[in-house]
Amino acid sequence: MATPDECEQALRELSATLAGSGSGERALQRSVSCSVTDLGVVFAGELRDGRLEDIAAVSAGEPKKSTRADIRLTTTSDDLLKLVDGSLGFATAWSSGRLRVDASIMDLLRLRKML
């Protein structure tokens, strides 16, 4: 099991990957949360200009920030690290149930281009 710090670092690495994707989806601005089920931690941030910004763990007093996010991801700590380092593909994780994504169809299509 990974630590909360390792998961936060993985999300920052994902941010760098998104920023370097050159996808043309720079205008996409959405709130994002990632619930790490085995740690009981939720990270929230903003996807702006093709980059995840303001990534931070959400305290117990801020549940609305994570549940109201436009894009909500749910996974385990180990799978999050594998997704970011490329040893687990996004489609594979999603289709096998290792990653849950709650987002609109349009956001999913835009994200697919970026990942």
Domain ranges of the chain: 4-104
Q: Compare 55 and 64 and report the one with higher pLDDT.
A: 55
**Angle between helix 77-85 and 4-19 (nearest 10):** 30
Structure tokens belonging to residue 19 = 């920023």
pLDDT, one tens digit per residue, over 5-51 is 999 999 988 887 776 655 555 567 889 999 999 999 999 999 887 78
Is 3.90.1710.10 the CATH classification of the domain at 4-104?
A: no
Q: State the amino acid at position 39 in one-letter form.
A: L
- Compute the distance between CA of residue 23 and CA of residue 47 in angstroms, rounded to an integer: 14
pLDDT reported for residue 10: 92
Share of the chain above pLDDT 90, in %: 43
Close Cβ partners of 6 (under 8 Å, ≥ 6 residues apart) = 77, 81
Residue 88's CB: how many other CB atoms inside 10 A? Answer: 19
Assign 48 to helix, strand or coil.
strand
Q: Using H for helix, E for strand and C for coil, what is the string for 24-47?
A: CCCCCCEEEEEEECCCCEEEEEEE
pLDDT at position 78: 96
Which pLDDT does position 49 carry in this prediction?
A: 77
pLDDT digits (tens, 9 = 90+) for 66-115: 568 998 999 999 999 999 998 998 889 989 999 999 999 988 877 776 65
